Amino acid sequence: MLNDSRPEPTAASTPAARPATPTCDGLRAAGAWNPAWDPFYRLDPEWTERFMAMGTRPMLSGVLDAKTIEFIAIAVDASCTHLYAPGVRRHVAKALELGATAEEIAAVLQLTSVLGIHTMSVGAPILLEELARRAGGAPGAEPR
């Protein structure tokens, strides 16, 4: 036995065993893993596994058909609050593979684009109010 003055490792000082992450592993294997998820996976693989399991459950439950799931994924990835082009590309390709038409996918994108209307529904009234205020008119009055 060597005379080593280092303390024995404790549970707090040794890294915990990596928890099982079958959902995350399956997403990687299927090519559906987003590399942007790597940092939080490295920080907390158990939390990431639970999050991914929750997020993929509706897709795996069979309640919605595969093409509908792809339409929803296209809408989420193409939305003005997300704009994740690699996901749009992947889900458009999968939707086409599942028999979706160009018209169906275009309709999904058109419906999703309505999210951006809030730019006008919030901004236009403010602009009209400011123009009326500067012109000395009442709010809601037509600008000169």
Judged against a pLDDT cut of 90, whether residue 51 lies above it is answered with: yes
Please write the tens of the pLDDT for every residue from 104-139. Answer: 999 999 999 998 888 888 889 999 999 999 998 765
pLDDT tops 70 at residue 27: yes
Short-list 10, 51, 15, CA closest to 33 = 51
Q: What is the pTM of this model?
A: 0.70
Burial 63-91 (b: 16+ CB within 10 A, else e): eeeebebbbbbbbebbbeeeebeebbebb
Q: Does pLDDT of 18 surpass 90?
A: no
Which two three-digit tokens encode residue 124? 């236009």
33-115 is a CATH 3.40.309.10 domain: no
State the sign of the Cα–Cα–Cα–Cα dihedral 78, 82, 83, 89.
Answer: negative
